[in-house]
């Protein structure tokens, strides 16, 4: 937190402002800044009363809560503690007998373009049947279930089915390695793994089940009693007698009726692992009541959701965005949503635009990294340019995962939104559960590259290293001053790390987001300047530098020492750069590319392809201070290709800098 916060760049002056058009404001749920302000005032006057009102309006309770916020054991806050509910019932059962019952819940488009639709009623039946199958496997309330699935209706059904019986799911992104799956199974103490034989991405059939097998072959996995395998493709996969069942075997004879199990509001709905500043990923634990409340409310507020909307969030269920804005939020809000299995560049880079046209998408929510790569593709190939498609159905655009640069924002605004659709630049995190700061379509004047203001009830502020609030215009540390319902409850199995990571003593009880930010002088708008810890944001995916370092060093036949830093990248936001000292010493220029490839393959195998370093540089040593500390500041400059102007007098071995010039 301390290292870089002083060097946060100052605000680039951004003069362009786009107030909401009359058409956007017409019928908006939160219409005009006065309406926004009224909600903020309500929260400020009576914080608990505000949240209690929303919790009564937006959540169905089987047992109403009488207490709102319990701060007695801060920072282990409790919300609506004596209330009871079921998350799946809040997404499905509550719509039965209403016009939503026979509405399409999911329009699924497979990698090969095949479209399948499911209504809310059908979803309820499928989730119930799957929940019964889980029960038959002995899975019960409080158990943990690992889900390692492709983007499919079945993945969403599996998550909802866990929620229905009160089991805590932990979804592992389908691009992660066997080692990552193993670590999560052991840390969570999972009793069941739900996976798929293969996944289809960009026309390729990629294995998933064999990765689960590899993970389960390692020690510490005795907790896993059963593995359920979705047959995504007809290709056979290894099945272990007595442990593994296909979905068809597991579902056979199971009833499509299953009563949802009521759980306490604080019951852990899910644990989602994310990178932190140490080598070990953190299991971010979320509650049921507060989480569902904010998932549903933000779905309605941020996207100004209307009954006729066709919503499309392009995230994967392996990330928090997929949890909140695919599996839970849209269903809780009764929306029709598009779910996409594939990748934006297959069969070509117009796939997103074609899908918006085909499904008449009205709200489109994606990541800056996707936008940047599609800009690049459209620039070099007319045929995939969005101008060839009818995007007139669009009403609202969204951005999430990393800061969106003003150039990409303008392109998105003009070429996708036809200068008609507001862009909601939503800032939030795995830990926050749902949106924290975002413009509201019918209220907030937009400024490219800014997530504008905190949602009503969210007390975002910028402070210095001692927790004192800074005036607009000065960069600092982003905090949330008061607890909010959808916040992280703890790190699974590590309450001490939770306290230390998010509520450091210096910050006077505020939640430390881990990002730097600055507020504009005129409007007080927030602009996120990037992580202030050892976490990189590569294509919107969080990667811990320590995690990659530990992985490189674990290749002990080759690597003696490694340091990983980020550098800006036009396409991926940040790129991973590894500085490596080999046991054999510096490789020859002929050898270096081969060793670099071997190291990349190793990282892909150990963590996942998204963690592969883009640049690898070799030296006889790393630049260190006389006391032996790696000078990361210098490594960051080298990674950027800058000439070293910093003071290197404390450096033990200045000659090393010359060796680190070539990237492989």
Q: How far is the CB of 589 from ligand 6R9 (least distance, A)?
A: 37
Question: Among 305, 461, 528, 635, which residue sits at the site for ligand 6R9 (rule: CB under 6 A)?
Answer: 528
- Interaction mask 300-339, ligand 6R9, x per CB under 6 A: -------------------xxx------------------
HSE value, Cβ hemisphere, 13 Å, CA-based, for 311 = 27
- Choosing from 213, 316, 402, 549, the residue that interacts with ligand 6R9 (CB under 6 A) is 402
Of 6, 13, 36, which is closest to residue 444 (Cα–Cα)? 36
Which residue spans within 288-348 are E strands per DSSP?
Answer: 310-313, 336-340
Q: What is the DSSP string of 37-96?
A: HHHHHHHHH-HHHHHHHHHHHH---SB--S--EE-TTTTS-EESTT-EE-HHHHHTGGGT
Closest residue by Cα to residue 229 from 249, 215, 214: 249
Check binding of 378 to ligand 6R9 (CB under 6 A): no
CA distances from 58 to 17, 91, 105, 520, 584 (A): 33, 11, 18, 33, 62
Judged by CB under 6 A, the residue of 79, 291, 427, 525 near ligand 6R9 is 427
Report if residue 430 touches ligand 6R9, rule: CB under 6 A: yes
Site string for ligand 6R9, 227-266 (x = CB under 6 A): ----------------------------------------
Are 542 and 579 in contact by the 8 Å Cβ rule? The answer is: no
The structure tokens listed for 317 are 């269920």
515 binds ligand 6R9 (CB under 6 A): yes
- Of the pair 230, 325, the CB lying nearest ligand 6R9 is at 325
β-strand pairing of 310-313 with 363-366: parallel
Which residues have a Cβ under 8 Å from the Cβ of 22 and sit 6 or more positions away? none
Q: Of the two residues 478 and 564, which places its CB atom closer to ligand 6R9 in the complex? A: 478
> What is the DSSP secondary structure assignment for residue 324, as one 8-state letter?
I
Residue from 514, 608, 619, 623 that binds ligand 6R9 (CB under 6 A)? Answer: 514
431-460: contacts with ligand 6R9 (CB under 6 A):
451
Specify the residue, 86 or 296, whose C-beta has the smaller distance to ligand 6R9. Answer: 296
- 113 labelled binding-site residue: no
Shortest Å, Cβ 332 to ligand 6R9: 18
58: which residues sit within 8 A by CB, 6+ positions away? 293, 296, 297, 300, 332
Please tell me whether residue 184 binds ligand 6R9 under the rule CB under 6 A.
no
Q: Please report how many Cα atoms fall inside a 13 Å half-sphere around the Cα of residue 98, on the Cβ side.
A: 11
Which of 268, 329, 403, 467 is close enough to bind ligand 6R9 by CB under 6 A?
403
Q: Is 430 annotated as a binding residue?
A: yes
Whether residue 184 is annotated as binding a ligand: the answer is: no
> Min. distance of Cβ 639 from ligand 6R9 in angstroms?
19
What is the closest distance, in whole angstroms, from the C-beta atom of residue 525 to ligand 6R9 in the complex? 12
Comparing CA positions, the residue from 583, 639, 644 lying closest to residue 613 is: 639
Q: Which of residues 263-302 bind ligand 6R9 (CB under 6 A)?
A: 274
The answer to whether the beta carbons of residues 370 and 319 sit under 8 Å apart is: no
- Using CB under 6 A as the criterion, what x/- string covers residues 474-513 for binding ligand 6R9? ---------------------------------------x
Give the residues lining the site for ligand 6R9 (CB under 6 A): 274, 319-321, 399-403, 425-430, 451, 513-515, 528, 531, 537, 540, 542
């Amino acid at each position: 937190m301390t290292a870089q916060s002083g060097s946060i760049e100052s605000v680039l002056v951004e003069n362009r402002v786009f107030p909401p058009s009359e058409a956007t404001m017409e019928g908006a749920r939160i219409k005009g800044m006065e309406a926004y302000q009224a909600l903020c005032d309500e929260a400020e006057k009576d914080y608990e009363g505000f949240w209690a009102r929303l919790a009564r309006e937006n959540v169905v309770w089987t047992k109403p809560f009488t207490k709102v916020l319990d701060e007695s054991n801060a920072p282990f806050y409790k919300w609506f503690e004596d209330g009871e509910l079921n998350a799946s019932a809040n997404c499905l059962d509550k719509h039965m007998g209403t016009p939503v019952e026979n509405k399409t819940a999911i329009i699924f488009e497979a990698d090969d373009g095949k479209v399948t639709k499911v209504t809310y009623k059908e979803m309820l039946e499928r989730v119930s049947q799957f929940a019964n199958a889980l029960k038959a496997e002995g899975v019960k309330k409080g158990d943990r279930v690992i889900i390692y699935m492709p983007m499919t209706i079945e993945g969403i059904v599996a998550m909802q089915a866990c929620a229905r019986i009160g089991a805590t799911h932990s979804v592992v992104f389908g691009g992660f390695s066997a080692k990552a799956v193993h670590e999560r199974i052991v840390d969570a103490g999972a009793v069941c793994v739900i996976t798929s034989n293969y996944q289809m991405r960009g026309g390729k059939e990629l294995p998933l089940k064999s990765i689960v097998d590899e993970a389960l072959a390692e020690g510490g996995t005795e907790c896993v009693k059963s593995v359920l395998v979705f047959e995504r493709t007809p290709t056979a996969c290894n099945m272990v007698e007595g442990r593994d069942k296909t979905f068809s075997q597991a579902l056979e004879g199971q009833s499509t009726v299953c009563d949802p199990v009521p759980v306490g509001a604080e019951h852990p709905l899910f644990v989602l692992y994310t990178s932190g500043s140490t080598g070990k990923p953190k299991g971010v634990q979320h509650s049921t009541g507060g989480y569902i409340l904010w998932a549903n409310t933000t779905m309605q507020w941020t996207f100004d959701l209307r009954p006729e909307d066709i919503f499309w969030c392009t995230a994967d269920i392996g990330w928090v965005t997929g949890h909140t804005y695919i599996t839970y939020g849209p269903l809780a809000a009764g929306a029709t949503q598009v779910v996409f299995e594939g990748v934006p560049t297959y069969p070509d880079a117009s796939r997103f635009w074609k899908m918006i046209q085909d499904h008449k998408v009205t709200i489109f929510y994606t990541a800056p990294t996707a936008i940047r790569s599609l800009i690049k593709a459209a620039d070099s190939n007319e045929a995939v340019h969005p101008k060839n498609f009818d995007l007139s159905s669009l009403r609202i655009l969204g951005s999430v995962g990393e800061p969106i640069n003003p150039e990409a924002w303008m392109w998105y605004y003009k070429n996708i939104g036809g200068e008609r659709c507001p862009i909601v630049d939503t800032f939030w995190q795995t830990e926050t559960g749902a949106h924290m700061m975002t413009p509201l379509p019918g209220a907030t004047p937009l400024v490219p590259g800014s997530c504008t203001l905190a949602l009503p009830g969210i007390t975002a502020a910028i402070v210095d290293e001692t927790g004192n609030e800074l005036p607009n215009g000065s960069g600092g540390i982003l905090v949330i001053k008061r607890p909010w319902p959808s916040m992280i409850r703890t790190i699974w199995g590590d309450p001490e790390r939770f306290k230390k990571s998010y509520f450091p003593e210096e910050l006077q009880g505020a939640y430390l987001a881990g990002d730097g930010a600055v507020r504009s002088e005129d409007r007080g708008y927030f602009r996120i300047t990037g992580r202030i810890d050892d976490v990189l944001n590569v294509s919107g995916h969080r990667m811990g530098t320590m995690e990659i370092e530990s992985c490189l060093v674990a290749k002990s036949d080759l690597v003696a020492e490694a340091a990983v830093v980020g550098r800006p990248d036009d396409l991926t936001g940040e790129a991973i750069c590894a500085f490596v000292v080999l046991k054999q010493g510096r490789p020859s220029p002929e050898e270096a590319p081969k060793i670099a490839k071997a190291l990349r393959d190793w990282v892909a195998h150990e963590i996942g392809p998204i963690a592969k370093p883009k640049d690898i540089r070799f030296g006889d040593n790393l630049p260190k201070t006389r006391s032996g500390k790696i000078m990361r500041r210098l490594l960051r400059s080298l990674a950027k290709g800058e000439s070293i102007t910093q003071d290197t007098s404390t450096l033990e071995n200045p000659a090393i800098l010359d060796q680190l010039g070539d990237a492989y």
